[in-house]
Each structure stands twice: as structure tokens, then as C-alpha cells.
Amino acid sequence: MTHTVIMASLVALYWHSPTQVGSDNVLPPCPDTPNCVSTETTRSAQRVPTVAFTDTPAAALARAKAALLAEPRTTITVEREGYLHAECKSLVFRFVDDVDIVVDSVAHVYRFRSASRLGRSDLGVNRKRIARISARLALPATTSN
């Protein structure tokens, strides 16, 4: 019986859908738990900086997509003009984190949100993920001839 309950719980965690996806290029708010980081939050412990871009918005979106897909076990689930939503799965238990990137064509910055779907602590995983993505996006754009 206990084995069945554990397996059912793991399946529920795996298939749990995101609570919110950004709309009109607005990032969903972070919950009050420490397992979320965002450029939009007013809580300093959850705040991450934006990253400026000089590309066209379309090129910036392509760069954001490449930077996001460089993360292991990541699948983009929503892609539209100026916005990406992805699911990142943990290696062992396949917990899902939701990652949103907005290409702000007015301010010429990338805005981010990364949040665990479940639980309270993420051991800094979401902050580290956004730091890696930000570092990739801060690199100069490459041009192909």
C-alpha cells in the first residue's frame, strides 16, 4: 500500500501543470515561498537582475531560446513574440520548475522568472539557473557570415 501511495505521489508531481503562464509578456508573480526568483518581484531575496540586449527583438528572442535550451532537461512549452515558457526537470525525481523569459523590446532587456511548482525550498536551483541563462545572454551576439 505504501509503495502505491509513493508512486502515485511521484506521478502527480511529474504531471502537475504550471499554476500560471505569462500573458501579454507579463511574468507571473512569485509566490511567498523562497523557491522562486524574478526580475519583477519586490522581495529582495527573490529578485534577479534583468539583462540588456542590443539585438533586434526577434534576434533577442532567438538568443533567449538558445540560452534556455542549453539548460539540461528543458522543454519549451510556449513560444510567442517576445515570450518563452519552459519546463525544466530535475535529474533524479523529475520535479518540474517553470521558467519564463520576456524579451522587453521597449526597455531592451530580458526579464526572467524561474519557480518550482511544488515545495518550499529549491536549494538555490532557480537562482543558479537564471544566473547561467543571464551569463549566456550577456555574452556578445555572434554573427554568421
What's the whole-model pTM score? 0.83
Does residue 98 have a pLDDT over 70? Answer: yes
Summarised one tens digit per residue, pLDDT across range 26-42 is 899 999 999 999 999 99
- At 143 the pLDDT is 56
pLDDT tier, 140 (very low <50, low <70, confident <90, very high otherwise): confident
**Residue 43 gets which letter from DSSP?**
-
Summarised one tens digit per residue, pLDDT across range 38-50 is 999 999 999 999 9
